Amino acid sequence: MKDDDSSHAYWKATLSLLTRILIIWFAVSFGAGILFADWLNNIKLGGYPLGFWFAHQGSIYIFIALIFYYAKKMNEIDRRFDVHED
């Protein structure tokens, strides 16, 4: 029974992490790039409107940061549940 509880807790932690990352991904790609673009365009970054910057470059930087964040947090979750590969 302990293995079932442990595996359930592992998947719950994994799905929680994925949910948070997908919310950030959605907020950046759809929110900053489309929904709030007009409002963000009032702010300039490097001479370009911020909404334009997010739609074309900023979201890519955020996505790369999310990849590194996901890898770090999954390593922590794997170690916590003793399923790491080391």
Q: What is the pLDDT of residues 42-53, one digit of tens each?
A: 999 888 898 888
| Of 80, 73, 86, the residue nearest 6 (C-alpha) | 80
> Is the overall model pTM greater than 0.85, yes or no?
no
Does residue 57 have a pLDDT over 50?
yes
CA angle at residue 26 from 49 to 32, to 5 degrees? 15
pLDDT band at 69 (very low <50, low <70, confident <90, very high): very high
Does residue 73 have a pLDDT over 70?
yes
The answer to whether the beta carbons of residues 39 and 12 sit under 8 Å apart is no
Segments making up each domain of the chain, as ranges = 2-80
- The pLDDT value recorded for residue 2 is 56
